[in-house]
Amino acid sequence: MRLTDKVALVTGAAKGLGRAFCLGLAREGARVMAVTRRDMDNLEQTVKMIRSLGGEAEMVQADVASEDDARTMARETVDKFGRIDILINNAAIYDGIKRKPFFEIDLKEWDLVMNVNVKGAFISARAVFPFMKEQGYGKIINLASEVFFTGSTGFAHYVASKGGIIGLTRALAVELGPYQVCINCIAPGFTDTEASRGLADVSKYDVSKTPLRRLERPEDLVGAALFLASSESDFMTGQTLLVNGGRAMH
């Protein structure tokens, strides 16, 4: 197993992509700290699923946009497992966003999206960095999106936030590299998750422009995450992997 004795912290872990990442990490031997802001029932279910596989997992409630919460989740991870090797910044505002022309987007909604999607990743990376620096090793994986490369009508704030994630990743790659901490991005396409189903009828998604001719599933992203979390990617940092069935190419 590629991640035996490693410890992973995953935000937005209650369901969807976050749950898939947690399960994939656990199958490869990692001990997992699962984090969410409010969906504690589903977070508990994620932990139970990991334990049913014979894995080790704990959970903590935290708002990634709060510096105090981010420090708490990092500290609790170290208190429970002794270290932090992997951070997956998966938490993001996506579910419930209504498409609107950019001139109709409420500025409070703009600020919320940026606060969670960009500032949250920044704060979370800063919270785990002291532990990774002390170890002289770490892997941080940020979630961007295909829409950064294609644009998306009515989603200006979300698209901008995912562009911000890619910029943040590149900037931190330069700063974290001397400490042997690698930071990279995964950019999914439109994926069949609970959040996506709340946004659109996924059964009507046009896959004709996707070379692989099907809708993306959460498990399609796990392989890329495991590669970036493992020693196999130790000489890779500041990069963005598009995992979207070829719908956009980079």
| Residues with catalytic function | 158
For residue 140, give the H/E element and its range.
strand 138-143
Radius of gyration of the chain (CA): 17
Cα(165)–Cα(89) distance, integer angstroms? 10
Rounded CA separation 118/144 (Å): 10
Q: How far is it, in rounded angstroms, from Cα 141 to Cα 131? A: 16
Q: Who's near 20: CB < 8 A, 6+ residues apart?
A: 218, 219, 221, 222
Structure tokens given for 150: 């294609």
Task: Please give the backbone phi and psi of residue 3, each rounded to the nearest 5 degrees, phi first.
Answer: -120, 25
For residue 237, the SS3 value is coil
Contact 188, 12 (CB under 8 A): no
